Amino acid sequence: MTGRVVEIVPLEIADMELLSALASEVTRVFSLPCRVGAAERLPASALDEKRGQYHATRILEHLSASGRTSFRLLGVTVVDIFTPILRYVFGEAMLGGKVGLVSIYRLGIASLPDERPGGRSIFVSRVLKEGIHELGHTFDLTHCEDPTCVMAASLDMTHIDAKSTQLCYYCRVMLGDKLEDT
């Protein structure tokens, strides 16, 4: 396992408590060391001024070309992201690639302020689930039919809230096979 480190790349996000919680969860789920790396600015080329959103794929390409040598990279950002076929996404990853991305923008910042009972813990739980989910895609894990598996598709908040931070048995086996092969 030497050298197989997952690096979380903060993209204009300063919530170190949140990023540290995500790093701990990544280590727990994937049995790989995870660290929070140096922050980076978002690439200006990823901003779609007409939409007021950032193109997720362009951010992934930027991270992929960043020269970082970690085993896997997970970008975390506060901005609203999209893909050409979807109005917005919670995250995106290169299936079987090295890079994933999660945005906290739609995961509850406005709808779950810290003052609401449980607001912060619900928000953190959503970020952990989506971060694990996108990182799972980098290990060739596709969307799972088990609605409680962290790899289940997340179409809205109800889907995110219904799933756990755990991989189901099938996805754990698939991850184990993938880790043995790399």
The verdict on whether 49 is a catalytic residue reads no
Taking only Cα atoms into account, the Rg of the chain, rounded to an integer number of angstroms, comes to 15
Q: Write b or e for each residue in 99-110: b if 16 or more Cβ atoms lie within 10 A of its Cβ, otherwise e.
A: bbbbbbbbbbee
Q: Pick the catalytic residue: 7, 25, 130, 134? A: 134
Tokens of 23: 């790093």
Tell me, what DSSP letter sits at residue 167? P
SS3 157: helix
**Alpha helices (H) along 8-138:** 16-30, 56-64, 119-138
Distance CA 115, CA 117 (A): 6
Q: Could you give the residue numbers annotated as active site?
A: 134
